[in-house]
Amino acid sequence: MTYPNTQLFINGEWQEAQDGKTLAVFNPATGKEIGRVAHAGTADLDRALASAQKGFETWRDMPAIERNKIMRKAAAFMRERAGDIAAMLTQEQGKPLAEAKGETMAAADIIEWFADEGLRVYGRIVPSRGNLAARQMVLKDPVGVVAAFTPWNFPINQVVRKLGAALAAGCSMIVKAAEETPAAPAQLIKAFADAGIPAGVLNLVYGNPADISNYLIPHPVVRKITFTGSTPVGKQLAALAGKHMKRVTMELGGHAPVIVCEDADIALAVKASGAAKFRNAGQVCISPTRFLVHESVKKQFADAMVKTATALKVGDGLAEGTQMGPLANPRRVTAMAEFTKDAIQKGATVLAGGDKIGDAGNFWQPTVLADVPLDAKVFNDEPFGPMAAIRSFNTLDEAIAEANRLAFGLAGYAFTKNLKNADLLARKVEVGMLWMNMPALPTAEMPFGGIKDSGYGSEGGPEALEAYLNTRAVTVMNV
């Protein structure tokens, strides 16, 4: 389908930036410009803020069951339009069409789950210690206008997790989505607009990330900040939010360890972690990155991972049979080259891949590195690309210590048939999400978030709604 130009969405209307400024959008498979996206200025942000405040006053006072109906209607539109939305997503981000459609369909599930969870936002009555005529109430109220900042790797998923929880709690929102991938999140917002969400409840802007965050976060209308992105940027935004006493949820970078024990099912470990590693060309915050494999099974695991990597069909995400698309932008290609060069210089061996593919687009070979030393860049900085770095261990305590060595604590994986090992891993590996003997399976009903430098707060489960609610105590004495 034809790729559309993308406008801002403010006060229930699609519109160009007031000064008419736009930015180019490029197809990562070809490197060619495919469209334009409106670039918001201060005047546009002021309109979005006024709109969001008005929208909050409307949405907050709407019964939860009515909010539920609108959200569920939006979810139905996402399912109906999944084919067209997925095609837009693939053109702007690069991931294979099947992955893009999966992201779109998953968004519908997330919206529905949060819509129903919003029906269960209850307070409580607490018996008085003294006078029984005193009625003590705990009330849950929406926090207010939310400013959401989302990345390009999952343009729909990263918005819908924030949007779903905020709307279910009764908040309004200004979404600042990624300029590199604007059409897909715009289609998500359009689904809500077509479902009848009141004007101002949802607003969508694009523009200079630093300018927009520095304007929205301190603004008195905004009461809650939610961000997904790199740890350095997240720390800057969290500091700015803290200065102005704004509630914050941060889903930041990871560097997920994969611990493969000597008793692991190696075929399962390779199938599960390999699929997760090369999904979205490795541009996934929870992607497995540091493969810690017991010395006794290291060669078996590495050989099987090489077969997985070399068998992948890399190409344009719209092409039939493509299993891995291009990296999203030229910056990631440069980063992959730097990671590979550094690993080789430090003594690692390239078992598969390790180079750019062709001259057109941002394609990189699925890469497997073996015997990677701890001081290699890839074992310390998140690669965010299709690169599996393997090193061996001799004891499980050694592997756990390496898993916990870095400041990151988002996701982790482990493979073992031993219940004692599984219990030790569950207790000792310092991550917000740990999957054992399986690939990642983040669902709406489970917490989604990290610990340590990978952020705080959850974007899944009932915990996600709590971040958008104020808890207040009210006591009434009957006289």
| Active-site residue list | 251, 285
For the chain, the residue count is 479
* Token pair for 165: 């929880």
Contact predicate 256/286, CB 8 Å: yes
Distances (CA, A) of 245 to 220, 223, 399, 453: 10, 8, 39, 20
- Percent helix, strand, coil in the chain (nearest 5)? 40, 20, 35
Closest by Cα among 221, 191, 229 to 45: 221
Question: Which residues touch 203 (CB under 8 Å, ≥6 apart)?
Answer: 8, 9, 10, 11, 48, 51, 52, 55, 172, 173, 174, 175
Contact predicate 8/19, CB 8 Å: no
DSSP reduced 3-state for 180 = coil
Q: How far is Cα 16 from Cα 472, in angstroms, rounded to an integer?
A: 40
Contact predicate 166/67, CB 8 Å: no
Q: Which long-range contacts (CB under 8 A, 24 or more apart) does 21-24 make?
A: 23/179, 23/206
Question: Which residues touch 372 (CB under 8 Å, ≥6 apart)?
Answer: 343, 346, 348, 378, 379, 389, 390, 391
Contact predicate 279/289, CB 8 Å: no
Distances (CA, A) of 409 to 144, 281, 443, 449, 464: 29, 21, 19, 9, 18
Question: Which residues touch 103 (CB under 8 Å, ≥6 apart)?
Answer: 86, 89, 95, 154, 156, 157
> For 395, left (φ over 0), alpha (ψ -120 to 50), or beta?
beta
DSSP at 79 = H
Q: Write down the H helix ranges in 95-139.
A: 97-117
Backbone angles phi, psi at 125, to 5 degrees: -105, 130
Q: How far is Cα 224 from Cα 370, in angstroms, rounded to an integer?
A: 44
Question: From the CB of residue 140, how many other CB atoms can be counted at a distance below 10 Å?
Answer: 17
